[in-house]
Chain A
Amino acid sequence: MTALDNAQPDTLSHYLCIGCPMGCRLEVETEPDHPSQIVEVRGFSCRRGEQYAHQEHTEPRRMVTTTVKIDRGIWARVPVKTLEPIPKGQVKDLCIALRQVCLTAPVERGAVVLADALGTGVDVVTSRSMAAATFDNVAGSAVR
């Protein structure tokens, strides 16, 4: 451990508030040895910041948007999204799992691509419809 680490007791965590462009620096103080027990939140300028610090500290979640392969579509990929945010720690794994998926055009917006993704209870769905390619709209064709 460096001197700097010692100066920052592990009962303190820091977050940048995303509630508005002010970007308040939030500080969460927790019980020694109980990182999930919040003693105090500091640094916010409004209630939104305080709530955000609680949420980020105890249970951070993220919406995931990525793409999956699609055969015979007008593009080579179709965008997908989680219907709800999932735990932050599972974001990368979900993207890796989705690399195995391949759809076939045409698809409709909102089609379930992966149900109950990684056991989170959240479905992954397509975020657009995509037509099948024809001679006139084949993927990547700028010039015909």
Chain B
Amino acid sequence: MIMTQQRPLEDQYDVIVVGGGPAGMSAALGAKEAGADRILIVDREKEPGGILLQCIHPGFGLQQFKAELTGPEYAQRVHEQVQAADIQIATDTYVLDITPAKQVQLMSGSEGMKLIQTKAAILAMGARERTRGAIRTPGRRPAGVLTAGLAQKFVNLMGVLPGHRAVILGSGDIGLIMARRLTLEGVEVAGVFEIMPYANGLNRNIVQCLQDFEIPLHLQTTVVDIQGRDRLKRVTVAPVDNHFQPDLSRSWDIDCDTLLLSIGLIPENELSRQLNIRIDPITNGPVVDSRMETSRDGIFVCGNVVHIHDLVDFVSAEASLTGRNAGLYVTGQLPPPDNIRLVPGENVGYCVPQTISSDRDHTVYLRSRQPIENCTLRLGDVYEKKLRYVFPAEMINLSVKPRFLQKFHGDSLKIDLLPP
């Protein structure tokens, strides 16, 4: 991404987008399409792209670009679309606060503090990684214990290796990808430990990131102690029972100077909380209607800030819907509010959006609570479909058509994932 001199900030915009990751950029494009004129994307980093810039592995873009791209390629392509649409981006700029009257307080590297009025705002701040505190790992606090995504940034962008011998806690895709990445850079990876009875990452990553390099994956096993005064020296791991209680009599020690935590992402919603937006306790993201509007008028959201997506392609699809609606809001054409509430039922962890309308097409994203083979997805008594296999780490998308709802007159629909 070749840098150009930043355009000065104006005092007023139609739409301000907080976050220049794939969500923010696709949303800005959607807003432009829907007729918004003056759009500003703000990102605190020195270039747009978000977390994709450090995800150098392939697997992105199969749906959006019909090609298998790496993260940086995906980011660059979207960035090029944003440049072609002549949308302004302010990098090195932090959004500190948004008032209910939609004044955006930001801190710009080149212009200092600024208060800017906008007609609509789109929150696309992404997610941050769960840290050690979130799982209350016992033991000392030496250097060498870090999140997998931070290690990814060190290695892939800054060219710094986190250590010589690593243990990875958590079998999510980021952890698996980092197991391969460290191995290829000459760091020894002693093993990946997962407390659940199944791996959380894709099979492709289990095979190509672990099996290819003979890195062991220990299921139902966790880290029970962290040792070392200044630098990590050793971790102790132990198998757990079905209630996640470790069996210390069967524990063993592993010498290592690095422990990577790959234990999940949490939507980054400080700004949303400051705005008193209603947050869903399950997704940890704002409650949204099918227009991707939050509980605050004119404040829209998209991407990992709403719920954790495993595929950036879905992020882009959701974000362009968000952007279009923000654009329609600005031009006074936003469709009417929803009339049907979606209720997560049997085996459904959550669904987004939380409400829908009977008069248009929707894509509803949901997650199962547990793996189920030959599952039946049921939407109230209006629609049913068979799914060969559902799995918590893989988001399910359900396309809801107005014709399903022709004869439906209620105000809520339960979604169930039923075993055979």
Chain A interface residues toward B at CB < 8 A: 15-18, 20-23, 62-63, 65-67, 69, 74-77, 79, 81, 88, 91-92, 95, 106, 109, 127-131, 134, 136-137, 139-141, 144
* Bound form: Cα–Cα A64–B380 in Å: 46
Give how many A-B residue pairs fall within 8 Å (CB-CB). 102
Count chain B CB atoms within 10 A of each CB in A95, A109, A127 and give the residue with the most. A127
Asked if B73 and A92 sit within 8 Å, CB to CB, the answer is no
B335 contacts A by Cβ under 8 Å: no
* Bound form: Cα–Cα A23–B373 in Å: 12
B92 contacts A by Cβ under 8 Å: yes
CB of A55 to closest CB in B, whole Å = 12
Q: Provided the pairs A21-B203, A88-B212, A136-B92 are in contact, do residues A131 and B3 lie with their beta carbons within 8 angstroms?
A: yes
Asked if A79 and B391 sit within 8 Å, CB to CB, the answer is no
Q: Could you say which residues of chain B place their CB within 8 Å of the CB of A79?
A: 56, 70, 72, 156
Asked if B72 and A22 sit within 8 Å, CB to CB, the answer is no
Task: Pick 25 A–B contacts, CB within 8 A, sort by A.
Answer: A18-B202, A21-B203, A62-B208, A62-B212, A63-B58, A66-B56, A66-B184, A66-B185, A74-B46, A75-B159, A76-B157, A76-B158, A77-B159, A79-B56, A79-B156, A81-B56, A88-B212, A109-B73, A128-B1, A128-B53, A128-B72, A128-B73, A131-B3, A137-B92, A140-B158
Q: Could you say which residues of chain B place their CB within 8 Å of the CB of A140?
A: 158
Q: Could you say which residues of chain B place their CB within 8 Å of the CB of A67?
A: 56, 155-156, 159
Taking CB as reference atom, which chain B residue is nearest A107?
Answer: B2
Q: Provided the pairs A23-B203, A134-B3, A137-B46 are in contact, do residues A127 and B92 lie with their beta carbons within 8 angstroms?
A: no
CB of A53 to closest CB in B, whole Å = 12
Interface size in chain B (residues, C-beta < 8 A): 38
Q: A74-B46, A81-B56, A109-B73 are in contact. List 18 more A-B contacts (CB 8 A).
A: A15-B207, A16-B203, A18-B202, A20-B389, A23-B203, A63-B58, A69-B159, A76-B157, A77-B159, A127-B72, A127-B73, A128-B73, A129-B2, A130-B1, A131-B2, A136-B109, A137-B47, A139-B158
* Bound form: Cα–Cα A80–B24 in Å: 25
* Bound form: Cα–Cα A134–B109 in Å: 14
Taking CB as reference atom, which chain B residue is nearest A45?
Answer: B388
CB of A45 to closest CB in B, whole Å = 8
- Of the residues A17, A76, A130, contact of B159 by C-beta under 8 Å: A76
B236 contacts A by Cβ under 8 Å: no
* Bound form: Cα–Cα A53–B408 in Å: 47
* Bound form: Cα–Cα A15–B204 in Å: 11
Asked if A106 and B2 sit within 8 Å, CB to CB, the answer is yes
B301 contacts A by Cβ under 8 Å: no
B394 contacts A by Cβ under 8 Å: yes
CB of A79 to closest CB in B, whole Å = 4
Contact with A along B8-47 (1 / 0, CB 8 A): 0000000000000000000000000000000000000011
* Bound form: Cα–Cα A74–B47 in Å: 9
CB of A31 to closest CB in B, whole Å = 24
- Of the residues A18, A22, A131, A136, contact of B208 by C-beta under 8 Å: A18
